[in-house]
Amino acid sequence: MHLEDLRGLLALGEHRHVTAAAAALDVSQPTLSRLLARVETELGARLFERDARGVHPNPLGDVTLAAAAELIERYDRLRRDLAGLLDPDAGTVRLAFLDSMATSLVPRILRDVRERFPRLRIELRQEPGHEMMPHLDSGVAELALNWGPQHEPYGWVPLQTQALALIVAPGHRLAGRGRARLADVAGEDFVTVPPGYGFRRLIDDLFAAAGVTPRVTLEIGDLATVESLVGAGLGVALVPERIAGASGTVGLPLAAPGGERVVGLTWRADRRLTPAADRFRSFVAEAAPYD
C-alpha cells in the first residue's frame, strides 16, 4: 500500500461517491475502483458499502480512514519539517496563542513576520493557557504567546505589558469614575474566565491581595465574550485595557498593585527549535516591545 492509496481512501470517505472522488483526485473512475479493491484485499476487510447513492464507509472503514488521515498528516508534517531544515525561510512554525491576543498582538506580529519572511508558513493554534503549555511540552506547538514570565524549562521573551481595567456597562454607577478599586465591586455580579485559566489565577490573586471576594455569576473561557456580557449589563469584569469598549463597555483604569499582565513568547528551552521557529523567535524578540 502506498500513500497515494491512503489519499484515495480519504477522498472516497469525503465525497462518498467514486465519480466525485476520482474527479477530485484527477484520476479515472476505474483507477479509483481498482485502488479500493486492492486496498480491501490487502487489509483483508471490506471497508466501504456500495449502493445506488455511492460508497459509504462501514465501521471497519471508519477505523481505516482515521488511521489513513493520521499517517498522511504525519508524512506531510515530516515533509514540511525537512523543508524547514533545508530552507529556514520557507519552513513551518507552529505557534499557539491566547484567545485574548487574537485581534491585537497576534495580527501585528504575523504582519511583521510576513513582511520579513514572506515564504515562512505559520500554523496557528488559538487556545487557553492551560491547554497551550501541554501542547508546547508535547511538540504540537513550538512557540507560544501567553502571559508570564515563564520558568525552567521554558524560555521567555516579554513582548507587551497590558494594564488591566475594570469594565462596566454604560449607565453603571461606576461608569463616571476616573479610576476603580477592587473594593468598589464588592457585592457586584462578576464575569470572568473559569478556574484553571491563567488569567483567572491572576484575577483571584488580585482580589485576595485586596481582601475582596468577588461574587462570580458567569464564567466563560474567552475574554472577548466576557467583555460582551458586561456590555449587555450582566455584571462587571476585569480585562486587559485593550479589550475594554469593544461592545460599548466603559473601561476604568484599575488602582491596584500588580494590575497588569505581561505577555510574551515562550518555548521549551531544553530542546532545539527548528531553524524556522528559531528565525521567528529571534525576529520577534528583536522587534519587541509591542507597546
CA distance 7 to 99: 33
Which residues of the chain are under the pLDDT cut of 50? Answer: none
The residue count of the chain comes to 291
What pTM, to 2 d.p., does this model score? 0.66
The helix-helix angle for 105-116 and 275-287 (nearest 10°) equals 110
H/E stretch holding 84 reads helix 59-86
* pLDDT for 76: 86
* pLDDT for 236: 96
* pLDDT for 130: 79
* pLDDT for 231: 94
For 185-199, write each residue's pLDDT tens digit: 988 999 999 998 888
For 174-187, write each residue's pLDDT tens digit: 998 889 999 999 88
CA distance 82 to 279: 15
One DSSP character per residue, 34-63 reads: HHHHHHHHHHTS--EEEETTEEEE-HHHHH
* pLDDT for 127: 86
| Cell numbers for 243 | 479589550
* pLDDT for 62: 94
Any alpha helices (H) in 117-252, and if so which ranges?
A: 129-138, 198-210, 223-231
* pLDDT for 78: 84
